[in-house]
């Protein structure tokens, strides 16, 4: 299996290499691909030095799978070129997510829709992935009616520049700001760019991607907030169901969902936190409680490492699924 990782020198790209190295996928050749300024650098994979190559060179080598994490512009330009030579592209950007002809995949939920004809596969937004992982088993049982989600997103979700700004501020180093405001000792209620209706692009992604993945007309409203945490996204989620639920059954359903871990022990002050999710592939759910303000409504707290299940792990799981099921 010849696999290209496009954007291999970035935050998510390096995490993809780590997850891929630990996966069961037998990689016969790893193509580390990055921008021209990184070409010629060395990246270690499975104990072997791999020289970074350009996109043009990667296309000429005809990989079986190309995992993209280099931004929407690069994906729009280059994914079709890889598709033309028969490569299956797994794209981590927003470029193809809402394209009606491109599947948006979380393997535990809708991997079964994939076919050998799908040569471009979209990886959802990091916040969406952890949200739908928690919603999916509950939707199957009770039916989703409305979801209100407020996110507490770490700076690594913005890439290296977000992390750099936080650490520079924390160490009192003057530098160019990536965010419109100070992020250290602060929270910024903005993710992405503002739209005409006052919502941001990150908030709209949560709405549209959730509906597409779950194949549901559920009403979703979101507020995205950036917090001074290096890694790990958290979400306060309020879910109104079409049918009533029993809390113990909710816990059982979530506990049997692959990739979800119930961590809900309030009597011991134990609940999901970014620091506990760091470096892990699972989605952690806690603070489960009935909303007493209206019928059939649940509150929960959902946390996941945004560079792992929110990006790298999900992409590699897609690669593993199509490999295992011979869809390439």
Cα–Cα distance for residue pair 304/261, rounded to 1 Å: 10
Nearest alpha carbon to residue 210 among 139, 278, 291, 158: 139
Beta pairing, strands 260-262 & 297-304: unpaired
The CA angle 154-253-142, to the nearest 5 degrees, is: 95
126 among known catalytic residues: yes
Nearest alpha carbon to residue 257 among 135, 78, 167: 135
* pLDDT value of position 178: 96
* pLDDT value of position 261: 98
Beta pairing, strands 260-262 & 233-241: unpaired
Token pair for 328: 């390439």
What values do phi and psi take at 200, rounded to 5?
Answer: -105, 165
What values do phi and psi take at 152, rounded to 5?
Answer: -125, 85
* pLDDT value of position 66: 98
Q: Which residues of the chain have pLDDT under 70?
A: none
What is 215-265 written as a DSSP string?
T---EEEEEEEE-S-SS-EEEEEEEEESS---HHHHHHHHHTSTTEEE--B
Beta pairing, strands 120-122 & 2-6: unpaired
Q: Which CATH architecture has domain 127-306?
A: 2-Layer Sandwich (3.30)
136 among known catalytic residues: no
Domains 2-124+311-324 and 127-306 share a fold: no
* pLDDT value of position 17: 98
Token pair for 111: 């991997």
Nearest alpha carbon to residue 20 among 324, 328, 308: 308
* pLDDT value of position 276: 97
Cα–Cα distance for residue pair 256/246, rounded to 1 Å: 16
* pLDDT value of position 7: 97
Identify whether the C-beta of residue 25 lies closer than 8 Å to the C-beta of residue 1. yes
How many contiguous H segments (helices) and E segments (strands) does the chain have?
10, 13
Ordered by start, the domain boundaries in the chain are: 2-124+311-324, 127-306
The residue behind tokens 């979380």 is 106
User: Which member of 136, 181, 233, 292 is catalytic?
Assistant: 233
* pLDDT value of position 186: 98
Label residue 269 left, alpha or beta by phi (over 0 means left) and psi (-120 to 50 means alpha).
left
The CA angle 51-57-59, to the nearest 5 degrees, is: 125
Q: Which CATH architecture has domain 2-124+311-324?
A: 3-Layer(aba) Sandwich (3.40)
Nearest alpha carbon to residue 309 among 232, 235, 256, 227: 232
């Amino acid at each position: 299996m010849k696999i290209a990782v496009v954007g291999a020198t970035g935050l998510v790209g390096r995490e993809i290499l780590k997850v891929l190295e630990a996966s069961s996928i037998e990689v016969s050749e790893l193509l580390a691909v990055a921008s021209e300024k990184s070409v010629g650098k060395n990246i270690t994979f499975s104990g072997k030095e791999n020289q970074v190559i350009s996109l043009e060179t990667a296309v000429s080598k005809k990989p079986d799978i190309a995992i993209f994490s280099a931004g929407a512009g690069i994906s729009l330009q280059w994914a079709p070129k890889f598709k033309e030579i028969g490569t299956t592209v797994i794209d981590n950007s927003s470029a193809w997510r809402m394209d009606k002809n491109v599947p948006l995949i979380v393997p535990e939920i809708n991997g079964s829709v994939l076919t050998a004809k799908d040569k471009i596969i979209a990886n959802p937004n990091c916040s969406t992935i952890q949200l739908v992982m928690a919603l999916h088993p509950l939707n199957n049982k009770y039916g989703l009616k409305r979801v209100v989600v407020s996110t507490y997103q770490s700076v690594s979700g913005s890439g290296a520049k977000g992390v750099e700004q936080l650490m520079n501020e924390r160490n009192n180093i003057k530098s160019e700001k990536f965010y419109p405001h100070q992020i250290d000792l602060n929270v910024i209620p903005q993710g992405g760019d503002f739209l005409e209706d006052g919502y941001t692009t990150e908030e709209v992604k949560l709405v549209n991607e959730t509906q597409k993945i779950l194949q549901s007309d559920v009403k979703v409203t979101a507020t995205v907030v950036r917090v001074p945490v290096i890694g790990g996204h958290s979400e306060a989620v309020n879910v109104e169901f079409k049918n009533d639920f029993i809390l113990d059954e909710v816990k059982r359903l979530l506990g049997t969902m692959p990739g979800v871990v119930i961590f809900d022990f309030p009597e011991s002050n134990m609940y999901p936190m970014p620091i506990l999710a760091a470096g892990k592939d699972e989605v952690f759910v806690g603070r489960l409680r009935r909303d007493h303000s209206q019928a059939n409504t649940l509150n929960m707290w959902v946390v996941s490492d945004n560079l792992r299940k929110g990006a790298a792990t999900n992409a590699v799981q897609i690669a593993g699924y199509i490999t295992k099921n011979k869809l390439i």
